[in-house]
A and B are shown apart, each in its own frame.
Chain A
Amino acid sequence: MATSNLTIRQSFLAAYQKNALMRSEALTGFAFLSPWIIGFLAFTLIPMILTLLMTFSNFRLVQAEPLSFVGLTNYIKLLNDPQMKQALLVTIRFGLISLPLSILLPIGLAALINAKSLWGRGLFYTLFYMPTIVPLVSTAFIWSGVLNPQGGWVNTILMTMGVQNPPDWFISPTWVYPALVIMGLWGIGSAMVLMLAAMQGVSAELYEAAEVDGAGPMTRFFYITLPMISPVIFYNLLLSVVGLFQYFLPAIVLFGGNGDPAGSTWFYNLYLYKQFFTYQDMAYGATLAWLMFIIVLAVTAVLWWSQRYWVFYASEK
């Protein structure tokens, strides 16, 4: 080091100045971060803690009885609540259809657009993404029209193709799930963009080397493309799981949030929302929210652990 050229005093001074410089750099940095830090405290961390505290109370927005500590009452209610279990079941049933599709279809679509032989790739890219931009209410109006058993185009087409009893879609308690999933496909664009970006980031050398070794297009896709984009698949899977438990707005827009048809759209988050804003039972709603948080956390943890078996991280940057 150059210290040998300096007297001890000089080196002390340099160190002090360096320290001061670092301190001022850190202070400036924190100043720039401060909007987010304040926002994180005010809109995330403190509300989260308050939500947790509420679960041990009898808090209501309009407080009739005095606010008090009620111990585990809300949790006991939670464990014995058949409606909660029903809502959880509805969410899981919906997720069994929607989750796999929300991963597989964007991959397929991205692979199609990534195909070198496709003409006008940019145009397809833009147009497949475009429905993502459409407002939820418009999307709901359009799909409930097009899937309408009377005069909707989908059933008209199915009937001309010879289908005798086309589904009732949004009216039927069983077909409502496929209908909601189909409607949700319009949001496929954001996952597709990510998958495509990842696919385009795979180095051409890998494909060339595999081709030299005699690997066909299928082999290349399954043994090079998929492993290379697996981190993005993982990211999308996490988002989809969180999204699944948050899912309920279409049920509000389409059915006014009353669970139609026949309670089939009583999603977990709808039940939670109703506790908050219709029954005004904030404390119980908060308990439901924490249960959701714990479920999401658990699923995330399992997925995180499972990464080692299927997510491939190329040498860290």
Chain B
Amino acid sequence: METSKLTLRKFVAGALVTLFAIMLLSTFLMPFAFMITTAFKNPEQMSLEGAPVWPAMPVTFTYQGQEYPIVQMPPEMGGNEWALVKKGLKESYLVDPQNPDKGLIKWEGRWRTLQPVFRFQPALNNFQLVWDKINFLRLLYNTFAIAVLGMIGTVLSCTAVAYGFSRFRMPGKSILFMLLITTIFLPASITLVPTYAIFTKIGWVGTWLPLIVPHFFANAYNVFLLRQYFMTIPRELDEAAMMDGAGPLRTLIFIILPQAWGIVIAVAIFHFVWAWNDFFGPYIYLATKPELQPISVGMQAFNSIYAGQPQLIQMTSLMGLLIPVTLFFLGRRIMMREVVMTGVHR
């Protein structure tokens, strides 16, 4: 008896907490629903009164060569969907699409009270429209190229630096490590101008180089992430390998890395998503070169063109987030587990 009461209480508590979480989550993710439904709407639907929230268009029926809207008849008229042929304030004439030969049917009442019937009808060509208009393929190519090249740099350099921090005794190591961690809290504006000026001097502004090359010099977040992980790998194995005459580089590649694939992939994905979403870098370095811009800046530039067309704006944002979000769902186990294990995150 006592235990069943306890299970029941546990069940109710679980149901209540979960219900609350679901409500919170739906509110939190509601804008996605807005984006998706708007992205597939026909432009005409925007200005239609009584249109549903999902992509839909009013249904029509062609009667004697003319198109008429289909309306929902009140229940006392059988609740049928009839075409409204002649609108009137007191009486209207309708036709039954199932049975047009019966001719016009008279209905007494204000035609405005009749609700138009909408059918689900996504405007799939919005995708095509945005694709062509913002030269999406070009943007995708640029984004991929910048993200992948930077990713290679980040993975190589951060792995090497993390290995150095986790395995070698050297003077001043702890100070260097503190310095590394401090850079996480350094406002980027303090280094912006000289960096920009130098990149201008050596002719890198207007190329991808400022967005790629710095990643070959490691960054604090990823070094920390990798270093924490390397510290958990027992030293016995790499010491044994060293005894057998393996150099440090071989030890890193053949002993450490095979045990740390998860975290290396996590770092790679994190960088890829970060680069995909990076706005500021391309914004300042590629301002004059639209043909080299990645998706983040390219999308923004076309905002003004679409100002009056919410469905195209939302289609653009949908297309912009599709790849990083898909990648996140594919890699979420690796990303979230590894990061929690090491207890830090970019």
Contact = CB atoms under 8 A, between A and B. Distances in A.
B218 A35 contact: yes
Given A36-B157, A39-B214, A193-B345, A134 B168 contact: no
B303 interface: yes
A29 B164 contact: yes
Per DSSP, chain A at the interface is helix
Given A25-B168, A43-B195, A131-B28, A245 B187 contact: yes
A46 interface: yes
Interface string B303-346: 10000001001101110110011011100100010011001111
B279 interface: yes
A84 interface: no
Interface in A268-307: 269, 272-273, 276-277, 282, 285-286, 288-290, 292-293, 296, 300
A138 B317 contact: yes
B187 A54 contact: no
Interface in B180-216: 180, 183-198, 200, 214, 216
A181 interface: no
Contact of A153 (B24, B34, B299, B328): B34
Contacts of B277: 133-136
Interface residues of B, number: 91
Contact of B31 (A22, A47, A142): A142
A13 interface: no
A131 B198 CA distance: 36
Interface in A25-50: 25-26, 28-33, 35-40, 42-44, 46-48, 50
Most central of A119, A125, A138 by chain B CB within 10 Å: A138
Nearest to B339: A193
Interface in A11-25: 22, 25
A33 B194 contact: no
A141 interface: yes
B200 to A, nearest CB: 7
A130 interface: yes
A101 to B, nearest CB: 14
A289 B192 contact: yes
Interface stretch (A70-78, A88-96, A197-205, A207-215): A197-205
A73 to B, nearest CB: 17
Given A137-B296, A196-B340, A282-B197, A131 B160 contact: no
B165 to A, nearest CB: 7
A94 to B, nearest CB: 16
A59 to B, nearest CB: 8
Contacts of B169: 22, 25-26, 29
- The secondary structure that dominates the B interface is helix
Contacts of A185: 28
A224 interface: no
Given A33-B161, A112-B17, A141-B303, A40 B321 contact: no
Contacts of B195: 43, 47
Contacts of A276: 192-193, 196
A126 B17 contact: no
A282 B313 contact: no
Contacts of A201: 343
A255 B157 CA distance: 37
A253 B336 contact: no
A252 B282 CA distance: 13
A190 interface: yes
A40 B185 contact: no
Interface in A115-129: 115, 117-120, 124-129
B79 interface: no
A296 B17 contact: no
A118 B17 contact: yes
A23 B135 CA distance: 56
Given A128-B28, A193-B339, A138 B299 contact: yes
A285 B193 contact: yes
Contact of A54 (B167, B193, B314, B339): B193
B243 interface: no
Interface stretch (B59-67, B94-102, B110-118, B171-179): B171-179
Given A43-B191, A135-B324, A143 B18 contact: no
Interface in B12-59: 13-14, 17-18, 20-21, 24-25, 28-32, 34-35, 38, 46, 53
Given A39-B214, A128-B28, A193-B345, A133 B328 contact: yes
A253 B283 CA distance: 10
Given A61-B197, A142-B317, A292 B340 contact: no
Contact of A44 (B164, B183, B299, B332): B183
Contact of B193 (A125, A200, A286): A286
B217 A43 contact: yes
A230 interface: no
Contact of A36 (B180, B248, B279): B180
A40 B17 CA distance: 48
Given A44-B186, A50-B193, 8 more contacts: A29-B167, A42-B217, A43-B195, A47-B195, A135-B324, A142-B32, A197-B340, A293-B190
**Top 5 A-B residue pairs of the complex, sorted by shortest distance between their CB atoms:** A39-B217, A29-B168, A32-B164, A26-B170, A138-B317
19 contacts: A35-B217, A36-B157, A36-B223, A42-B217, A47-B192, A50-B193, A54-B193, A128-B25, A131-B28, A133-B327, A136-B277, A137-B299, A138-B299, A142-B32, A145-B31, A153-B53, A242-B187, A253-B279, A276-B192
Interface of B: 10, 13-14, 17-18, 20-21, 24-25, 28-32, 34-35, 38, 46, 53, 157, 160-161, 163-165, 167-171, 173, 176, 179-180, 183-198, 200, 214, 216-219, 223, 248, 273, 276-277, 279-280, 283-284, 295-296, 299-300, 303, 310, 313-314, 316-318, 320-321, 324-325, 327-329, 332, 336, 339-340, 343-346
